[in-house]
Chain A
Amino acid sequence: MATTERPQGRPLADRLYDFTVNNRVWRSIIRTGYPNTPRNQMLAVATNVFLHLHPTRIHRTHVKITHTYCLGGLSFFLFLGLTITGVLLMFYYVPSVERAYQDMQALQTDVRFGMLMRNTHRWMAHGMVITVLMHMMRVFYTGAYKPPREFNWIVGVVLLVLTLLLSFTGYLLPWDELAFWAITVGTNMIGSDPVLGEVNQFVMIGGFEVGQNALIRFYTLHVVGLPLIAAIFMAVHFWRIRRDGGLARPL
């Protein structure tokens, strides 16, 4: 007797999925179900605020990891990670010569997960300098700077400079020996230009040597000024990728 036994209920995973998705709260946030037709998948990308930076379709070679090694995306991802950990660090840090170092020590010893936060921020900052440089190398060696992408290459060079400046301004904040002397050596390099060097150095560190004025300048630039400018340039960078017809491909 050939009977096919039909399963009793539906699998647990299905029921869980239905339970989470088919209710008024979820539906008020995400109006559609899982997009499983091409049309709906394109709509999912085009109508979602986070995804709509992407095109809806993309050439198959550009999905291959080995084409971009995700390096631009990772640079952006690190920028986001740095913003999150950076905001957390700001809760505990006061940019004054008297308190900065003390705050760092307290962060490491008294604050729960403080050390983890600081470490993540630090390693992500180094990581971003490396991924941005490697991203530039990949763009160069894939010949992706060629027309019509000249301008995006220039935007990229600006982003490279901003990344270095972000890292450099952050370096001073712990106010330890390493920070102090690295910034002193770095700004002296600028000050050594006989024509405008002294003026530039004075403007950068707000005095003749690295002190409270330098700390507050670097801090402000590090947490507000430079991230804002970098975010604007990144927006332009991503927008231009779309405007230039996606990633470069052989003609």
Chain B
Amino acid sequence: MVADAPARGPSRSRGAVPSARPRRQREEELLVWPDLVFVEFISALVFTLTFVALAILINAPLQDRANPANTPNPSKAPWYFLNLQELLLHMHPALAGVIVPTVFLIILGAVPFFDTSNEGQGQWLSTPRAWPNLIVGFIVGTVGTWALIIYNSGKHIVVFERFTFDADSFDNFPPLIVDERLREWPESLNWLTSVRALQTDIAWPGELETIPLGETFVRTDLLGLPRGSIQWNFPAWIVEQAIPVNLMVGLPILLCLVAWRLGLAKTRRDFMILMFSGWLGSYLALTMAGTYFRGEGLELLWPWEVRPAES
């Protein structure tokens, strides 16, 4: 065997040129039979047993026959789409249901084209700043997403009212008032209760809610449908589209900028890890919120307050 055959692959300096990697050293290699086949066999066995055991122990749910006439409350999508259903509560449906997932998948597919170096390839988190970026990204993604969900559900008002300091109840610890509210959320700040409140609690001039865009923008007649003319509801647009898009694009960019200024992220791989982990945290937060924290009327509740759907 030619152990030292010349490398066929690119040298580092050729950077991103895709090509097979250098011929490997034979001593570093094992035979697939028996080494790999054995591992595969064992893990297949373990998994089969696990799933059969699971299937014996837990039954798949079967509820009453479908009845289109009565809608259960809450009605939820399968768990792996609850992240999107959660998004749906915070922005325009077209954005949450179609545009965000599509754009996300395109960006996900494009990851190898943003990060084209061979840095850290083929080894778990082997670049110098990999772990810090993972941790920071994940935490910022999780906490940030939860903060936005909580804010937009108006829960900060509850916090504001509950956690008002009360000197009399000092005997209790913590010194918080639960029953008697010391302070109400000030009415003058109503427009801050949620993003939607920007639309409902500000006296927008009527004209702004029906800006005629005429018939030139929507050429539904080209699809053989009646020609539509649209009116632009500016406040609704701000609330349902402009703010969410700006947050979803802006906050990740902000995170990148801060990480860059702090020297946390330097190479493209760093930024990739930061963004991917941030997405992961945010995705998990949305899925958790949608799965465990949304009760009747898709109200944000504690998991123990969420009752199974009634119809």
Contact = CB atoms under 8 A, between A and B. Distances in A.
Contacts of A175: 65-66
A165 B44 CA distance: 24
Interface stretch (B75-83, B198-206, B208-216): B75-83
B18 A193 contact: no
Q: How large is the interface on B (under 10, 10 to 19, 20 to 34, 35 or more residues)?
A: 35 or more
A147 B18 contact: yes
A81 B32 contact: no
A63 B39 contact: yes
Interface in A178-206: 178-182, 184-186, 189-190, 192-195, 197
B60 A251 contact: no
Interface residues of A, number: 90
A248 B121 contact: yes
Interface string A211-251: 10000000000000000000000000000000111011111
Nearest to A129: B80
A124 B55 CA distance: 9
Given A142-B125, A150-B18, A180-B67, 12 more contacts: A42-B31, A59-B30, A73-B43, A123-B54, A143-B269, A147-B18, A148-B20, A153-B111, A178-B63, A182-B77, A186-B78, A250-B120
A150 B67 CA distance: 46
Interface stretch (A1-9, A23-31, A101-109): A101-109
Q: Nearest 9 CB-CB pairs, A to B? A: A192-B93, A180-B66, A119-B55, A248-B122, A189-B97, A148-B18, A150-B112, A122-B60, A181-B75
B105 A157 contact: yes
B29 interface: yes
A189 B88 contact: yes
A44 B24 CA distance: 22
Interface string B58-78: 111111111110011001111
B118 interface: yes
A210 to B, nearest CB: 7
Contacts of A111: none
